[in-house]
Structure 1
Amino acid sequence: MLPQITDYIGLMGKLKYNLDRYKKDNNIYELLDCLMTLNAIPEWIVNSKNTKTSLTQIAEEKLAIMKGKNGFILDETKLSLNINHQLRLIRLICNHSKHKTDSILIPRIQKKYGGTLPASFPIKLYNIIAIGENEYDAEYLLNSVANFWFDAVKLENENFK
């Protein structure tokens, strides 16, 4: 049976699938799949008919932050520890990078060598999200935001695994 995505729980399943593929292949296509799914999750939660109020409130709050309802301030020095800045970065990549300008403030995704010796093949080339001179490990950011949403959904749905 083919999986179906009819609500945010289905989208969370897609996120797990995307993350597994990305961790295996480390391909930029899978990275973008993960980012696009993470960008969509709060809207799917907000628009779901079967979401508990507390989860909807979390999603509404995070969506407002992502959209810059109270001002879009991205402090890249706080990306490694602050979910709000990570969510802003994802929104920036998914919704604004397509209108890329020459600004150094628009994130760019780059490959960096990550192989070590003795090497096992295929050697992973790590994806880095760069903003100006600052570089961030893409997989770390994906895992941080994904775990935030997995934990929020688990609190509301005992059956979610």
Structure 2
Amino acid sequence: MLPELDNFHDLLKKLDYDIERLSKTSHIYELLDCFLTLNALPEWIVNSSIEDTALTDIARQKINVMKGIKFNFDENLLHEDFDQKLRLIRLVCNHAKHKTDSVHIPKIGREIDCSFPMMFPAKFGFVISIGKQKVDAEYLIFEVTKFWKSCINLE
């Protein structure tokens, strides 16, 4: 049976699929797939026909956070501020979509390193640098995924 993408629950299944591929390959394409899916998720929730106004309100609020005001992204707060993680995802997706070279968008690179916080068992090789910060990409994706699943009452 072929998977369907009719609603945000289906999009969450796609996200699980994307995360599984990322954990197997540690490839930048799979990382971008995860980011693109996480970026789309709140808009899919807002545009769905669900009657859960609390979930819709959270999604609307997080869309506003992700869009930010005049690129108010601070990579130095990335480890401690969940909203900065959401803004990073949005910036990566828009940067990938439009390929803009802006001083407001931090340079994102791939590192061969290990950083904190990290997933255990520790594995070297999938750390991304955002400006001067190093971040375990899988950890970031797992944190944001866990947030959305808890809002949707799946965890």
TM-score, normalised with respect to structure 1: 0.81
Question: Residue 79 of structure 1: CA displacement?
Answer: 1.1
Q: Structure 1 stretches of 5 or more lacking a match?
A: 115-122, 155-159
Task: Check if 1:95 corresponds to 2:94.
Answer: yes
Question: Residue 78 of structure 1: CA displacement?
Answer: 1.8
Instruction: Name the structure 2 match of 1:119.
Output: none
Residues 105, 131 of structure 1: 8 Å contact kept: no
Instruction: Name the structure 2 match of 1:39.
Output: 39
- RMSD, aligned α-carbons: 2.1
Instruction: Name the structure 1 match of 2:142.
Output: 143
Question: Residue 50 of structure 1: CA displacement?
Answer: 1.9
- Deviation >3 Å, runs of 4+: 102-105
Could you say which structure has the larger radius of gyration?
A: 1
**1:30-69 alignment runs, 5 A limit:** 30-68=30-68
Instruction: Name the structure 1 match of 2:117.
Output: none
Aligned-partner Cα distance in 2 for 1:15–1:51: 23
Secondary structure, counterpart of 1:125 in structure 2 = coil
Task: Check if 1:131 corresponds to 2:123.
Answer: no
Residues 109, 130 of structure 2: 8 Å contact kept: no
Give the share of equivalent positions with the same residue, in percent.
Answer: 41
Residues 71, 105 of structure 2: 8 Å contact kept: no
Task: Check if 1:27 corresponds to 2:27.
Answer: yes
Q: Structure 2 stretches of 5 or more lacking a match?
A: 115-122
TM-score, normalised with respect to structure 2: 0.84
User: 1:62 is aligned with what amino acid?
Assistant: K
Question: Residue 51 of structure 1: CA displacement?
Answer: 4.4
